[in-house]
């Protein structure tokens, strides 16, 4: 952010806050601090982001106020009933806080329900006035800031969207080049893992900017359906590219240029599609995009024909080759869809071109149900209960504000884990260094509305400008100013109010920190341990369901595998990415960062290869049932053996037991080769290709399991399992 933009944003914020206080004083509003707080927290870098956050805050305030009314109407005469009912509401809010894009809505819904109870304790008749006034003044603050933001130097998200997308495309091109180099050299570049992590973060950032662009960029709003298609296409392409990378590892012993004569040309086409996509994205800045006659060729499906010498290969190598070809076809399709969507966004093709892709989505989506989410959602309710008990039995200053602050900070930990003591220090310093001198010494000397509004403008402008360098320099001083000073027509000054507020925040944060320390299941190493075991148990269930059934039972088996994928397999990616960063490696010297990273990479590899096996098995089961049933005895025998390995891993049994299980792996491969040799010649080529794809993906899974077993042997699981405070 340039200095000019910092000054403009600070001016808009200061003007909005000054106008809001002028309006509230003129209209004699009771609680303008809540509208002012809404202005402070919704003042983001673009108009669309501010509008989205403001709408979510207003919606959450309304939902929370309604929930507060319902709870008070049912349990106002029952302290225990109120305690339990509010805890249930906080669990409900905490769960959906983790599953939706509208996190601010749910956060405010939880906060307002508790705030309505706290403000009306022993005065239930004031609850309606508090809730409706807070809702209306919050809406007024959001509306006023939106108008000012749109009229004065409006900043749309279009430029940020273009810049972030350009960076993402450059990263995608670089990653594809590294994977292509891996195909020729046989080794993975060291920077590939770091680049994958960076691209995952940039993708999430792009999605957040896209949400804002829908509100402040008419071009994005007009093509929302196409942008949503692009969101899906980017994710599908990234997943297809990772599946292709996994299949590369199995082809180290094959001369691919001889066996697949068109491989280099196909890879060149994929690279050209990425380059063309980057060009289309870059040209959006000028709104002048020249049609490229090569796009028609780039949108043509790739044809990969294996050389006749493939038939002379051992069956396993043929299976490995077929697996690589299958993954390349998936990558080809996803890249074509991605380029076609970009052409529609660039106005080179009509939106009707996407009709053929309208129903194409990921085969599996992470399930909305997750036990770890429920466990995490219990945390605000536990903090609420501890704060409630502390208030009842200790009766500190602040009274019912103690459980309210405990619940709010508990929700904050669920929404975005943070260093609460660091936050407390910032808030207390803001209160006593920035707010207290103005509140106690400067404001009492003002004798006119003009002087008061000028003070509000100058104070807000200074900290709004500093917020351009660090958001905490804006949020801390301004949030504490509007909440502590509480400017209204019945202004009063109380040093005790400052001290009491500081004490309430200190107690609320302390309760949350102690609860987090005492709740061992909330520790990152425990979450990692549960996630790994849940993943391995889910893998065992999936392998067990690779049974050969009648057509009716096949559908049931696919549904069971789909459920296992969505509940146990797919969530592991996001879970490991967040947990890995929060682990305290100093507490677990045996489990170094390098060992954990290797474990994470091995789990990701197994996840991808399970998806490959699922796709190949489903295709073979539906297109070549007779050939698959001819291998039923072999399937039953070895399916049970592989699932047994996963089950033992899920129980974290001793390493030597796992090694014994792997001593049979060579026998498995040999018997698979023998079975392939006995396949009758009367089956057509497509059936044999399907069978080879299944055996190739099975072999690929076994290789990934071998790497996972090696990485698991290096982890000291007992060290993570020990309870700690």
586-632 per-position pLDDT tens digit: 888 888 888 888 888 889 889 888 888 888 888 888 887 777 776 67
Q: What is the mean pLDDT of residues 372-387?
A: 91
Quick one: pLDDT band at residue 659, thresholds 50, 70, 90? Answer: very low
Quick one: pLDDT band at residue 68, thresholds 50, 70, 90? Answer: very high
Cβ-proximal residues to 105 (8 Å cutoff; 6+ apart), any chain: 56, 57, 59, 60, 63
What pLDDT was estimated at residue 12? 94
pLDDT at 432 > cutoff 80: yes
| More confidently predicted of 484 and 556 | 484
Among 438, 432, 406, smallest CA distance to 499 is for 432
490-505 per-position pLDDT tens digit: 888 888 888 888 888 8
Name the CATH topology of 523-721: Methane Monooxygenase Hydroxylase; Chain G, domain 1 (1.20.58)
What's the whole-number average pLDDT of the chain? 84
In degrees and rounded to multiples of 5, residue 306 shows phi and psi of -80, 150
What pLDDT was estimated at residue 520? 66
Quick one: pLDDT band at residue 358, thresholds 50, 70, 90? Answer: very low
What pLDDT was estimated at residue 125? 81
Q: What is the mean pLDDT of residues 252-262?
A: 82
What pLDDT was estimated at residue 1? 64
Cβ-proximal residues to 393 (8 Å cutoff; 6+ apart), any chain: none
Residues in the chain: 725
Helix H or strand E segment including 1: none
What pLDDT was estimated at residue 716? 87
| More confidently predicted of 36 and 684 | 36
The Cα–Cα gap between 39 and 59 comes to 15
Quick one: pLDDT band at residue 360, thresholds 50, 70, 90? Answer: very low
| More confidently predicted of 472 and 628 | 472
pLDDT at 695 > cutoff 80: no
Q: What is the mean pLDDT of residues 60-83?
A: 92
What pLDDT was estimated at residue 658? 47
Cβ-proximal residues to 612 (8 Å cutoff; 6+ apart), any chain: 243, 246, 247, 323, 326, 327, 697, 700, 701
What pLDDT was estimated at residue 332? 92
Under a CB-based contact definition with an 8 Å cutoff, are residues 237 and 357 in contact? no
161-172 per-position pLDDT tens digit: 888 889 999 999
The Cα–Cα gap between 344 and 232 comes to 15
Give residue 156's region: left, alpha or beta (phi > 0; psi -120 to 50): beta
SS3 string, 125-171, reads HHHHHHHHHHHHHHHHHHHHHHHHHHHCCCCCCHHHHHHHHHHHHHH
CB environment 473-482: b (16+ within 10 A), e (fewer):
bbbbbbbbbb
Q: Classify burial at 698, counting beta carbons within 10 Å of its beta carbon; exposed 0-12, middle 13-18, buried 19 or more.
A: buried
Counts of helices then strands in the chain (DSSP H, E): 31, 0
Quick one: pLDDT band at residue 359, thresholds 50, 70, 90? Answer: very low
Among 322, 397, 533, 469, smallest CA distance to 3 is for 469
Q: Classify burial at 439, counting beta carbons within 10 Å of its beta carbon; exposed 0-12, middle 13-18, buried 19 or more.
A: buried
What pLDDT was estimated at residue 625? 77
Please state which CATH class domain 158-348 belongs to.
mainly alpha
What pLDDT was estimated at residue 378? 93
| More confidently predicted of 641 and 227 | 227
pTM over 0.85: no
33-48 per-position pLDDT tens digit: 999 999 999 988 788 8
Q: Which residue has the tokens 């028609």?
A: 296
Helix H or strand E segment including 724: none
Cβ-proximal residues to 64 (8 Å cutoff; 6+ apart), any chain: 108, 109, 110, 111, 112, 113, 115, 116
Residues of the chain with pLDDT > 90, as a percent, come to 24
pLDDT at 674 > cutoff 80: no
pLDDT at 91 > cutoff 90: yes
Angle value at C-alpha 606, between 600 and 611, nearest 5 degrees: 130
Q: What is the mean pLDDT of residues 372-388?
A: 91
pLDDT at 663 > cutoff 60: no
| More confidently predicted of 677 and 491 | 491
| More confidently predicted of 30 and 683 | 30
What pLDDT was estimated at residue 548? 67
Helix H or strand E segment including 467: none
Q: What is the mean pLDDT of residues 139-154?
A: 91
The Cα–Cα gap between 222 and 216 comes to 11
| More confidently predicted of 304 and 342 | 342
Torsion sign (Cα): 38, 39, 45, 48: positive
What pLDDT was estimated at residue 461? 95
697-720 per-position pLDDT tens digit: 887 888 888 888 888 888 888 888
SS3 string, 267-283, reads HHHHHHHHHHHHHHHHH
> How do the domains of the chain map onto residue ranges?
3-155+369-520, 158-348, 523-721
CB environment 52-63: b (16+ within 10 A), e (fewer):
bbbbbbbbbbbb
Quick one: pLDDT band at residue 289, thresholds 50, 70, 90? Answer: low
């Amino acid at each position: 952010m340039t200095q000019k933009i910092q000054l403009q944003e600070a001016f808009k914020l200061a003007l909005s806050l000054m106008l809001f206080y002028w309006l509230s004083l003129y209209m004699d509003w009771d609680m303008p601090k809540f509208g002012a707080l809404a202005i402070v927290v919704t003042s983001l870098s673009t108009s669309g982001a501010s509008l989205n956050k403001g709408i979510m805050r207003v919606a959450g305030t309304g939902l929370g106020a309604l929930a507060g009314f319902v709870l008070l109407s049912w349990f106002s005469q029952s302290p225990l009933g109120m305690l339990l009912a509010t805890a249930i509401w906080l669990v409900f809010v905490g769960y959906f806080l983790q599953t939706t894009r509208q996190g601010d809505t749910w956060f405010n819904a939880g906060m307002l329900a508790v705030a309505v109870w706290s403000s009306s304790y022993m005065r239930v008749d004031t609850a309606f006035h508090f809730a409706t006034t807070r809702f209306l003044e919050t809406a007024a603050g959001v509306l006023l800031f939106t108008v000012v933001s749109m009229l004065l130097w409006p900043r749309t998200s279009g430029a940020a969207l273009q810049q972030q997308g350009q960076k993402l495309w450059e990263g995608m091109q670089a990653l594809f080049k590294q994977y292509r180099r891996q195909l020729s050299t046989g080794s993975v570049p060291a920077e590939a893992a770091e680049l994958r992590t960076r691209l995952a973060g940039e993708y999430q950032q792009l999605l957040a900017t896209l949400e804002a662009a829908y509100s402040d960029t008419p071009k994005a709003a007009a093509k929302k359906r196409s942008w949503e298609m692009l969101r899906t296409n980017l994710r599908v392409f990234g997943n297809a590219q990772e599946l292709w990378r996994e299949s590369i590892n199995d082809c180290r012993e094959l001369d691919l240029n001889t066996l697949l004569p068109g491989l280099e040309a196909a890879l060149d086409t994929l690279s050209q599609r990425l380059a063309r996509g980057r060009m289309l994205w870059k040209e959006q800045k000028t709104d002048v995009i020249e049609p490229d006659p090569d796009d028609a060729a780039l949108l043509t499906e790739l044809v990969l024909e294996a050389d006749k010498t493939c038939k002379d290969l051992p069956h396993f190598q043929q299976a490995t080759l077929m697996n690589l070809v299958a993954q390349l076809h998936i990558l080809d399709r996803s890249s074509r869809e991605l380029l076609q969507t970009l052409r529609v966004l660039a106005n080179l093709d009509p939106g009707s071109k996407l009709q053929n892709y309208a129903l194409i989505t990921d085969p599996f989506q992470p399930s909305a149900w997750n036990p770890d989410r429920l466990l995490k959602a219990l945390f605000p309710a536990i903090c609420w209960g501890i704060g409630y008990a502390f208030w009842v039995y200790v009766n500190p200053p602040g009274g019912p504000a103690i459980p309210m602050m405990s619940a709010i900070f508990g929700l904050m930990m669920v929404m975005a884990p943070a260093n609460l003591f660091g936050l407390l220090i910032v808030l207390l310093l803001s209160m006593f260094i920035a707010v207290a001198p103005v509140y106690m010494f400067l404001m009492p000397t003002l004798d006119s509305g003009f002087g008061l509004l000028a003070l509000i403008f100058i104070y807000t402008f200074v900290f709004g400008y500093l917020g351009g360098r660090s958001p905490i320099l804006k949020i801390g001083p301004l949030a504490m100013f509007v909440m502590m000073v509480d400017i209204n027509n019945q202004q009063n000054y109380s040093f005790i109010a400052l001290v009491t507020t500081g004490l309430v925040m200190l107690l609320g944060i302390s309760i949350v920190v102690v609860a987090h320390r005492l709740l061992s299941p909330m520790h990152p190493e425990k979450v990692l341990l549960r996630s790994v075991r849940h993943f391995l148990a889910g893998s065992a269930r999936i392998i067990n369901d690779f049974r050969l059934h009648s057509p009716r039972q096949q559908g049931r088996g696919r549904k069971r595998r789909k459920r296992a994928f969505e509940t146990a397999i797919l969530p592991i990616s996001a879970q490991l990415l967040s947990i890995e960063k929060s682990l305290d490696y100093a507490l677990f010297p045996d489990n170094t960062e390098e060992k954990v990273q290797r474990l994470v990479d091995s789990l990701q590899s197994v996840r991808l290869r399970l998806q490959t096996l699922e796709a190949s098995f489903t295709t073979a089961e539906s297109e070549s049932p007779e050939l698959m049933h001819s291998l039923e005895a072999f399937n039953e025998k070895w399916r049970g053996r592989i699932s047994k390995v996963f089950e033992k891993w899920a129980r974290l049994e001793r390493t030597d037991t796992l090694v014994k299980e792997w001593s049979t792996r060579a026998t498995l491969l040999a018997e698979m080769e023998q079975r392939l040799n006995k396949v009758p010649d009367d089956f057509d080529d497509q059936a044999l290709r399907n069978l080879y794809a299944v055996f190739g993906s099975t072999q690929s899974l076994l290789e990934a399991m071998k790497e996972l077993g090696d990485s698991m042997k290096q982890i000291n699981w007992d060290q993570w399992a020990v309870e700690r405070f």
